[in-house]
């Protein structure tokens, strides 16, 4: 069986989706294919999100916001949206989840840390569902 592919989508692909992708890569390693995209990508990653992730030893500085393409959704097994709602195309047979997370844009580091930790808990649950080993 091929490894599952997870796509994280938020509007700017600069905070929540990048932190989620960072956590999933860190915690699942090569067992899960990780993608992220945005319906209206920003020109760079949120520096406070980068700082919050670096505090837990995860480097997302190399990540670049990416425009959401239909192929991204079609080629993923699980699509997790974070406040982009109807911007995401729907394909039959895919698993869709919407994570209601605070947008870290413009928030102080204390708030971004809470978002980071909330995302980690959701990622840990997702990994156990996708890869029980």
Q: Indicate the burial class of 7 (C-beta count within 10 angstroms; 0-12, 13-18, 19 or more).
A: buried
Catalytic residue among 24, 32, 49, 84: 84
Question: Which candidate in 10, 45, 49, 82 is catalytic?
Answer: 10
Q: How far is CA 78 from the centre of its chain?
A: 11
Give the residue among 1, 4, 10 at the shortest CA–CA distance from 75: 4
- Token pair recorded at residue 24: 């999933």
Q: Is 91 a catalytic residue?
A: no
- Told to judge if 109 belongs to the known catalytic residues of this protein, a careful annotator would answer no
| Residue 10 falls in the annotated catalytic set | yes
Choice among 82, 88, 112, 115 that is catalytic: 88
Residues sharing a CB contact under 8 Å with residue 29, sequence separation 6 or more, in sequence order? none
Gap between the Cα atoms of 68 and 125, Å rounded: 25
Question: DSSP 3-state assignment of 59?
Answer: coil
As annotated, the active-site residues are: 10, 84, 88
């Amino acid at each position: 069986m091929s490894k599952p592919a997870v796509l994280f989508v938020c509007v700017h692909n600069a905070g929540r989706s990048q932190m989620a992708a960072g956590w999933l890569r860190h915690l699942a390693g090569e067992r899960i294919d990780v993608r992220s995209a945005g319906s209206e990508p920003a020109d760079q990653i949120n520096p406070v999100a980068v700082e919050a992730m670096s505090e837990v030893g995860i480097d997302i500085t190399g990540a670049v916001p990416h425009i959401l393409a239909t192929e991204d959704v079609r080629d993923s097994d699980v699509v997790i949206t974070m406040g982009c709602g109807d911007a995401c195309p729907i394909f039959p047979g895919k698993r869709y989840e919407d994570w209601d997370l605070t947008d870290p844009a413009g928030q102080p580091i204390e708030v971004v840390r809470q978002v980071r930790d909330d995302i980690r808990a959701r990622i840990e649950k997702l990994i156990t569902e996708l890869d029980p080993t």
